[in-house]
Amino acid sequence: VGELHILINNAGLVVQNQIIKTKDNLEIQFQVNHLAQFLLTLLLLDTIKKSVSAELPGKIALTSSGANYFGEIDFDNLNLEKGNYWNFLKSYGNTKLMNVIVAKELGRLVQNDNITTYSLHPGVIQTNISHLNSSFSNIIFRFLIRISGEITAEQGAINTLYPVFSLENKETGKYYDEGIEKEPNKVANDQEVAKKLWDSNCQ
């Protein structure tokens, strides 16, 4: 890797009524939606720090979701192995809340390194995010997408890029919902939770 100024992490899975483990023995939503973004960011962070300057600052974004408002942080169940699998918004929301928290904590940690961080909800878009579920579950999920203000993939891409490329967005750690700065789940403002989650991820 040469110079790197911008990193946009985007990954997501919705799994309903089942627990799927990865080869690392982690629940698949936890690993794909959250830990993978966290790990990739850490692996590239030194490169970004060496690349940026006051004139050419760095930007790091983690894709979250409006489902972060349904999430909670249970340090006894970060791996999502207990309960609530009937409610996809709960387990999925937990992982997306984690991304909001990590983006804010990372922003605090790199605040003197000419790097700003963001988390964002690109909007409700039809993707293959639920492909691991049953056909019936997918039909229900796609119906919910359609009635929830579905936008196009192109609109979602613009919403994803806006916080990163807008010259107006200089404050680090902020959450954007379809390009608009909003307050996330109030848990994201708990710095004690943020530090504990960060440390847990690093173990």
What CA–CA distance (Å, rounded) separates 194 from 102? 7
Cα–Cα distances in Å, from 105 out to 109, 118, 189, 192, 197?
6, 10, 10, 10, 9
Instruction: Determine contact, residues 125/148, Cβ cutoff 8 Å.
Output: no
Task: Report which of 177, 149, 182, 184 is spatially closest to residue 71, judged by C-alpha positions.
Answer: 184
| β-bridge mates for residue 59, sequence order | 6, 116
User: Could you tell me whether strands 180-182 and 174-177 are parallel, antiparallel, or unpaired per DSSP bridges?
Assistant: antiparallel
Cα–Cα distances in Å, from 42 out to 16, 20, 45, 113, 201?
29, 25, 5, 14, 11
Burial annotation 116-129 (CB, 10 A radius, 16+ → b, else e): bbbbbbbbbbeeeb
- Catalytic choice (69, 92, 162, 175): 92
Residue 85 known to be catalytic = no
Known catalytic residues are 92
